[in-house]
Structure 1
């Protein structure tokens, strides 16, 4: 059998390893959208409407912080111990949410969940290189990438179903059970290697990115556009200081090689950011589908899932095309930008069913642009490290950059829509939709420059 084929990855002994890697990412991704779908029912049951949005804010904040601590965790606890710690944190946080008598306790549970979830995602990328042969790295990365699409598809459906039945606590219980099941696989899948040199915690740099995420998330809760803009600008300033410190002094959150001449990591991060920004437009897809296309809540939700479907399909198809990695990464921002531009040009009020179908296709195209690049960017990051610790840091840094970009993208989307009339009549909402997709399309298009630099300066993927 070809040792770099899908068949080799999906059979023992690699299947159990892939189950843990993909399962950790899936738990985090599904949890995000499951809780979002259930939260109205949760608030109706235990109260706390005033703190509604903080459930997501604290979860994302904790995820960013913990994802940046993956190298430190691996050096202290080893792969198996790190995964065990992450699963226990995620499971405890999930059980706290399931038993929460009020919103304050739920927020504590969500924060602990976020700490575990950020570690799970960061570990999943970091451990590809330690647990699988190089010939399977890109395909494994494709599966992990697809889990984000699966989360977007499965999370809202499960959350909506449990909420409809009035069983939101049971949903958290099911998540906890899945967490336990994955944890039982650790002994047979993850090495117990604790021999790596201890990694110092980059406290100051970590505080800067945490503050940026918290600032942009908190200000995005306001309905005042000026507050939204101030939050985005403030976060960019903090991230600028973070980059300066990363370039000039240790310890670092990003790999040391990220700022060396000829490194593929900085253009890779740029490509990653713009593609993540493309995906954050899905936040408003159900809203636009309902107000412009006349769709009911269920149909509007499935319209939003079209972008996730494109991401998933793009990842799985692209992961098997390692010989075309350069072309796929290079064209990815263009594909997503074309999808967003098409959505901007077709954002009309009172849209007929045929136009709504066109929107679904364009959303699929937008998501596929993200998906076709993701596996190869992951492989590039893993190949950039000279030592196991540097490889861990490079792979885990993708999660940190992704989560920060997601927070920035969500805040920027809210700012653009607030400034362009999203709270007005149908014509205003159509105008807001055109602006959102148009602005994000233009930003994503600049990624062609980053993607070209990434693939032209990267090493060839193992095949």
Structure 2
């Protein structure tokens, strides 16, 4: 029996008024599982990024350096799209066990890797487990928590990405500096086991009344091809190659949309293509906000080259976007009655932060200027955070059956991962075109072009956010379910 069934309907509205409700029985265990799965995936991403140079120096395979991330993201996108199938075929509890088992096996393979080939296999298996974990976390919010807590729970999951950006680099950097990068991988295993031990008391054993969801393998292959193309071409230092990869990926995603609209089975909910559906503008808004956040890839580089920061300080400067995302999510999730307003202003907030960075990025920056960078990066991230929990909770209400709701919730993860890949490639293309290999003046121009271009991109999200608000008004806001 789910938590929604266990709680009296009369207490739902009262429960939604306090964060403490998620942090005490009967919801504490569920919160730990949902947040823990997301945190494992997020921390792992940034942990490996921080210590990968030390790993390569030990096991070799420098020419395959970037494929550690490429294969991980590729596997994550594919597995996140399989979440509805896993839920209907295995049930929530066993689906989580499968995800955790894949994550742990992949982690152990990475820790024991004698060479780059084994490491890449381990990273791929890790990606399979990680993609399932974050997809399951969003999908299971509506099945394990009262509707009044959905927005706050989505806010906590969103905040876990900020935790990953703060904890991952610190943990990975510390172990790499001590020459113990293998132990850094092993540190993740006990946390995965804790989540596994909580499954019996928190997750339903099986879904009832639903048929096994068919898997849209052709559509999944198109998504995988788009992500692999954009990830692989983003590794090049040639802007033409970067741009070509983006064009091919966009064409493949156009083919995906056509297939999703015209034939079943689908990766996305069927309701995404019905008239006045909130999902299409919601996906577009999410995509543009996530793309804006990928500017963090180059923040440490600009911090060192333009601000004269040490690597560790530059790394924490890069975490300012994630910090803003985290704080924005946690604060806005409590304002369920203002969800439409928050979704509408989110792209504007992010655009203001990025536009400000374009104006103040210059060589030989003073300490005051660097602190201003940190503040503006925080604002850019906060724009993403204030919209995320509300749009995630809105997606969870789409669908008439548990299977359809699972698909809608899990699709948030798929859209996020694809948008991250596209954003990373686009950031690489813009910086390559602007030039990052010259003197500090040229690098300063590069930062201005990057921040300015992405400010314009995310500002376009206002048009889609407005359509999300209109669709919500037409179909009924999710707050009414709360």
Same fold by TM-score greater than 0.5: yes
Q: Write the mapping of 1:363-442 to structure 2, written as runs, cut at 5 A.
A: 363-442=377-456
Q: Write the mapping of 1:71-110 to structure 2, written as runs, cut at 5 A.
A: 71-110=84-123
Secondary structure of the 2:365 match is: coil
Cα deviation 1:365-424 (Å, max 9, x = unaligned): 000000000000011000112111110000000000000000000000000000101111
- What is the aligned partner in structure 2 of residue 3 from structure 1? 15
- What is the aligned partner in structure 1 of residue 74 from structure 2? 61
- What is the aligned partner in structure 2 of residue 155 from structure 1? 168
Cα deviation 1:62-98 (Å, max 9, x = unaligned): 0000000000000100000100000000000000000
Counterpart-to-counterpart distance in 2, 1:431 and 1:79: 50
Equivalent of 2:305, from 291, 301, 311? 291
Cα deviation 1:186-206 (Å, max 9, x = unaligned): 000000114321111101100
Equivalent of 1:213, from 193, 204, 227? 227
- What is the aligned partner in structure 2 of residue 238 from structure 1? 252
For structure 2, the residue ranges without an aligned partner over 5 or more in a row are 1-10
Equivalent of 1:29, from 10, 33, 42? 42
Counterpart-to-counterpart distance in 1, 2:347 and 2:399: 25
Counterpart-to-counterpart distance in 2, 1:10 and 1:457: 33
Quote how far apart the aligned CAs of 1:322 are. 0.3
Cα deviation 1:111-156 (Å, max 9, x = unaligned): 0000000000000000000000101100000000000111111110
- After TM superposition, the runs of 4+ consecutive aligned structure 1 residues lying more than 2 A away are none
Aligned length: 463
Equivalent of 1:177, from 173, 186, 190? 190
- What is the aligned partner in structure 2 of residue 140 from structure 1? 153
Quote how far apart the aligned CAs of 1:7 are. 2.0
Quote how far apart the aligned CAs of 1:8 are. 1.5
Secondary structure of the 2:277 match is: coil
How does the TM-score come out when normalised to structure 1? Answer: 0.99
Quote how far apart the aligned CAs of 1:178 are. 1.2
Secondary structure of the 2:369 match is: helix
How does the TM-score come out when normalised to structure 2? Answer: 0.95
Q: Write the mapping of 1:122-133 to structure 2, written as runs, cut at 5 A.
A: 122-133=135-146
Secondary structure of the 1:397 match is: helix
Counterpart-to-counterpart distance in 2, 1:448 and 1:351: 32
- What is the aligned partner in structure 2 of residue 335 from structure 1? 349
Counterpart-to-counterpart distance in 2, 1:300 and 1:369: 22
Segment drifting more, 188-197 vs 347-356 = 188-197
Q: Does 1:448 align with 2:450?
A: no
Secondary structure of the 1:342 match is: helix
Quote how far apart the aligned CAs of 1:225 are. 0.9
- What is the aligned partner in structure 2 of residue 43 from structure 1? 56
Work out whether residues 417 and 435 of structure 1, in 8 Å CA contact, stay in contact via their aligned partners in 2.
Answer: yes
Work out whether residues 312 and 371 of structure 1, in 8 Å CA contact, stay in contact via their aligned partners in 2.
Answer: yes
- What is the aligned partner in structure 1 of residue 241 from structure 2? 227
Counterpart-to-counterpart distance in 1, 2:306 and 2:207: 56
Q: Does 1:200 align with 2:214?
A: yes
Cα deviation 1:18-76 (Å, max 9, x = unaligned): 10000000000000000000101101111111100000000000000000000000010
Work out whether residues 326 and 455 of structure 1, in 8 Å CA contact, stay in contact via their aligned partners in 2.
Answer: yes
Quote how far apart the aligned CAs of 1:347 are. 1.1
Counterpart-to-counterpart distance in 1, 2:380 and 2:399: 31
Equivalent of 1:265, from 279, 287, 295? 279
Work out whether residues 326 and 456 of structure 1, in 8 Å CA contact, stay in contact via their aligned partners in 2.
Answer: no
Counterpart-to-counterpart distance in 2, 1:3 and 1:296: 46
